[in-house]
C-alpha cells in the first residue's frame, strides 16, 4: 500500500523532530546540594554558586538531588547527582566540592542550570566521575519526593565554558552523540579513553579564557535513558556548568541549522523518489 505524499511528509517530519530534540529540562526545586549555608551580610562569605567560598566538605555518593521540570511534556522528574572515583589530588577528606543550582557562576545566573566547582587540596592532576540519574517523583510542586523508580528521559547535556585546559569526558555507553558549536575552540582529544586511564569515554579539552555564553567553548551530548555519566579532570580549581535544555538557551545552536538543512536535502530527495514511483 502506498501512502499519500502528504502522509509521508507528516511521518518524515515527526521522525526528524524526534531525532533532533530531547527533553527541555530545568532545575525547578532543590532537595539536596553541597553548598555553604548562606551567611549574614558582612561576613565576607559569597553566597552565589561557582565560588571557592561556597564549597563544602563532601563524601562520595549522592551529592545533589533536584526536581527537574520538562516543558516539553509539562511534567517533573527527579535527578540525583553522584560524585565518585576521585583521583589524584582530589580527596573528600582534604578538599571541597560544590554541586549546586546556579546562582552566579562567573556571570551565569540561570537557576535552571547546575554548577560544579571542584577545589582540590593541591595543584596536581585530579579527576572525578559525575553521574546524572533520573527517577520518577511523587507529590506536587513544592513537596515532591524522588522515588527509587528510574525514569527514562531524552537528554541533551551541555557543558559550558570549557577553558584553561579543563578536561571533560562523556560516556560512550550513555550518550549516543556529541557535538560542538562551529567555529569551536574545543578539541576532541580521544574518542575511547577515560580520566582514570581506562576506556569508554570521549575526551574534550580547550585552552584560553572564555565566558559561559561562548559557544566555541561548549559541548552538547545527547542520549536516551535514565542514567548518564561524565568525568571532569584538571590540575587546579575548576568550574563546570551544565545545562539540560534542548535546544540550549545559553549558547546559540548553529549546528541545528546544519542539521535542519541536511534534513531538508534528504527530504527533497525522498520526495523526488516518491514522485517518480507514483
State residue 50's pLDDT score: 79
| pLDDT over 90, % of the chain | 66
Pick the range with the lowest mean pLDDT from 17-21, 38-42, 91-95, 172-176. Answer: 17-21
User: Given a cut of 60, is residue 149 above it in pLDDT?
Assistant: yes
Q: What band does 13 get if pLDDT is binned at 50, 70 and 90?
A: very low
Beta partners for residue 159, in sequence order: 219, 242
Task: Retrieve residue 71's grid coordinates.
Answer: 516543558
At residue 157, the 3 state secondary structure works out as strand
**Given a cut of 80, is residue 255 above it in pLDDT?**
no
- State residue 22's pLDDT score: 79
pLDDT at 92: 87
263 pLDDT exceeds 50?
A: no
Spatial CA neighbour of 247 closest among 203, 204, 215: 215
pLDDT at 39: 52
Residue 259: its pLDDT value, please?
33
Q: What is the mean pLDDT of residues 116-127?
A: 89
The answer to whether residue 245 scores a pLDDT higher than 70 is yes
| Cα dihedral: 246, 249, 255, 257 (round 10) | 90
Stretch among 40-54, 86-100, 151-165, 203-217 having the lowest mean pLDDT: 40-54
pLDDT for the residue numbered 209: 93
Task: Tell me how far CA of residue 34 lies from CA of 93, 99, 117, 174, in angstroms.
Answer: 14, 5, 10, 25
Amino acid at each position: 500500500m502506498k501512502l499519500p505524499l502528504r502522509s509521508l511528509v507528516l511521518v518524515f517530519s515527526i521522525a526528524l523532530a524526534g531525532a533532533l530534540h530531547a527533553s527541555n529540562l530545568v532545575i525547578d526545586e532543590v532537595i539536596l546540594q553541597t553548598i555553604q549555608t548562606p551567611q549574614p551580610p558582612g561576613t565576607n562569605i559569597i553566597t552565589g554558586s561557582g565560588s571557592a567560598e561556597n564549597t563544602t566538605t563532601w563524601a562520595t555518593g549522592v551529592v545533589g538531588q533536584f526536581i527537574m521540570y520538562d516543558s516539553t511534556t509539562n511534567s517533573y522528574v527527579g535527578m540525583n547527582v553522584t560524585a565518585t572515583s576521585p583521583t589524584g589530588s582530589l580527596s573528600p577528606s582534604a578538599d571541597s566540592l560544590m554541586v549546586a543550582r546556579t546562582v552566579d557562576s562567573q556571570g551565569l545566573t540561570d537557576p535552571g542550570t547546575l554548577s560544579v566547582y571542584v577545589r582540590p587540596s593541591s595543584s596536581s592532576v585530579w579527576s572525578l566521575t559525575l553521574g546524572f540519574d533520573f527517577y520518577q517523583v511523587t507529590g506536587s510542586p513544592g513537596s515532591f519526593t524522588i522515588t527509587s523508580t528510574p525514569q527514562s528521559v531524552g537528554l541533551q547535556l551541555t557543558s559550558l565554558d570549557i577553558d584553561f585546559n579543563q578536561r571533560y569526558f562523556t560516556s560512550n555507553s550513555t550518550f549516543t552523540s556529541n557535538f560542538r558549536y562551529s567555529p569551536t575552540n574545543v578539541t576532541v582529544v580521544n574518542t575511547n579513553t577515560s580520566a582514570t586511564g581506562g576506556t569508554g569515554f570521549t575526551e574534550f579539552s580547550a585552552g584560553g579564557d572564555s565566558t559561559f555564553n561562548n559557544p566555541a567553548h561548549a559541548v552538547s551530548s545527547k542520549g536516551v535513558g535514565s542514567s548518564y555519566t561524565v568525568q571532569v579532570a584538571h590540575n587546579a580549581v575548576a568550574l563546570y556548568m551544565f545545562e539540560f535544555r534542548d535546544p540550549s538557551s545559553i549558547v546559540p545552536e548553529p549546528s541545528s541549522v546544519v542539521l535542519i538543512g541536511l534534513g531538508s536535502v534528504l527530504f527533497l530527495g525522498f520526495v523526488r523518489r516518491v514522485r517518480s514511483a507514483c
